[in-house]
Amino acid sequence: MTYPTDRPATWFVTGASRGLGLELVQQLLRRGDNVAATTRSTERLTAALHETDTLRLLPLQVDLADQAQVDRAVATTRERFGDLDVVVNNAGYGYLGAVEEVPDADARAMFDVQVFGVWNVLRAVLPGFRERRAGHVINVSSIVGLLPFPGWSLYAAGKFALEAISESLAAEVADHGIKVNLIEPGYMRTDFLRPVSLGLPTSTSDAYPAIREMVDQHLRMPGSQLGDPAKAADAIITVATTGDAPLHQLLGSDSLSLAATRIQALTDDVEASRALATTTDIPAAGPTGA
Q: For residue 136, what pLDDT is reported? A: 98
Q: For residue 191, what pLDDT is reported? A: 66
Print pLDDT tens along the chain (290 aa): 578 888 999 999 999 988 899 999 999 999 999 999 999 889 889 888 876 777 899 999 999 999 999 999 999 999 999 989 999 999 999 999 999 999 999 999 999 999 999 999 999 999 999 999 999 999 999 999 999 989 999 999 999 999 999 999 999 999 999 999 999 998 877 666 667 678 899 999 999 999 998 888 877 766 667 778 999 999 999 999 999 999 999 999 999 999 999 999 999 999 999 999 999 999 988 776 55
> pTM value?
0.93
Q: For residue 220, what pLDDT is reported? A: 74
Active site residue 159: yes
- Among candidate residues 105, 100, 119, the one with its CA nearest the CA of residue 207: 100
The three-point CA angle 89-163-103 to 5° equals: 85
Question: What is the rounded CA–CA span in Å between residue 155 and residue 152?
Answer: 6
Residue 30 has, within 13 A of its CA and on its CB side, a CA count of 14
Q: For residue 290, what pLDDT is reported? A: 53
| Dihedral pair phi/psi, residue 147, rounded to 5° | -135, 95
Q: Catalytic residue among 95, 159, 208, 255, which?
A: 159
- The fold adopted by the segment(s) 10-274 is Rossmann fold (3.40.50)
Q: For residue 2, what pLDDT is reported? A: 74
Q: For residue 99, what pLDDT is reported? A: 96
Q: For residue 233, what pLDDT is reported? A: 96
Q: Catalytic residue among 17, 93, 95, 141, which?
A: 141
The three-point CA angle 150-156-158 to 5° equals: 150
Question: What is the rounded CA–CA span in Å between residue 223 and residue 188?
Answer: 9
Q: For residue 226, what pLDDT is reported? A: 72
Domain boundaries, the chain: 10-274
- Asked whether the CA dihedral 12, 18, 20, 23 is positive or negative, the reply is positive
